[in-house]
Structure 1
Amino acid sequence: MGAADEQGLENGQGWLTKAEVHEIWPQIRPSSIRAVARANNVRTSAVPSLDLTREPTYRAADVRDVAARIARGEAEVEPWQRADSDAARADVEPGPPVRQPVSWGPENVPGLILLVLIVALFLWGLTSPDNHGTGTVFVR
């Protein structure tokens, strides 16, 4: 970065990528940066960033203004969007998956009855005399 670029960023000019915004807003979850920026009227560029994510770039002055408002607790930020909230911690550290036991309980009885009927009808069809294809008999 040249001296002119650094001066422009110090004056609040320039555009920041999502990763750079996350460095300025460490208390905001990376997946919530776009929503927080929209809720706090951070201007975005019409041209997405040059990296492969195709994320918009954010106006540096607006990002810094919102960072100060976040620090004071005045910014529009939902609790689940904060990286330091209980909801975010629970989302990041999920518990072990709950395995449901397989049982033959009362909720399975209708399905079992239907299965028994289908198998019985199938077996009955196999054992009954087959008159199909032996000729056509017309009854008068």
Structure 2
Amino acid sequence: MGASDEQDREDGERWLTTAEVREIWPQIRPSSIRAVARANSVRTSGAPSPDLTREPTYHAADVRRVAARIDRGEADVAPWQRADSDAARADATPSPQVRQPIRWGPDNVPGLILLAIVVGLILWGLTAPDNPGTGTVFVR
């Protein structure tokens, strides 16, 4: 912990966890809190967070200052970092559904008929009497 961290703690200034910052910055995506804090010069503490998540804690006064700037639209926030942007909505759209396994049904009948014909023709061609490759005559 640096000297400024100790001075802030002595002055009664609080340090906020990431969960607390999320409540103050609802417009920011949870995955972007660290980047937005860095871009807007929010001080972070090197001390372990009280919830033992190993995430940094953020200076409460800085978080409130940036919250006001976010509300006014003056904060340094990329569009994809905002929870209320088109980019965030695009990320939240569900992905395509997983393909279901193929089931036996009326849609498969034409393909099965074709397969049966092809297999039948191959077997008939192999067992035809004029086919020299199917004889049982062995050469000694």
Q: Could you tell me the TM-score, scaled by structure 2's length?
A: 0.59
Gaps of 5+ in 2: 1-7, 100-140
SS at match of 2:45: coil
Once the two structures are superposed, what CA deviation does each residue of 1:73-93 show, in whole Å capped at 9, x if it has no partner? 000000000000111111122
> Structure 2 matches for 1:30-109, cutoff 5 A?
30-96=30-96
- Equivalent-residue separation in structure 1 for 2:26 and 2:73 (angstroms): 14
Gap runs ≥5 in structure 1 = 1-7, 100-140
Per the TM alignment, residue 95 of structure 1 is displaced from its structure 2 partner at its CA by: 3.0
**TM-fit CA distance, 1:34:** 0.2
Question: Who wins on radius of gyration, i.e. which is larger?
Answer: 2
Percent identity, aligned pairs only, is 79
Aligned positions of 1:121-140 closer than 5 A:
none
Q: How far off its partner does 1:97 sit?
A: 5.0
TM value normalised by structure 1: 0.59
Q: Deviating runs (4+, > 6 A) in structure 1?
A: none
Deviation at 1:94, TM superposition (A): 2.9
The Cα offsets for residues 47-70 of structure 1, whole Å up to 9 and x where unpaired, read as 131324210000000000000000
What are the Cα deviations for residues 80-119 of structure 1, in whole angstroms up to 9, with x where unaligned? 00000111111122331587xxxxxxxxxxxxxxxxxxxx
Partner of 1:17: 17
SS in 2 for 1:58: strand
Aligned residues: 90
User: Counterparts of 1:33 and 1:46 in 2: how far apart (Å)?
Assistant: 17
Distance 1:89 1:95, change over 3 A: same
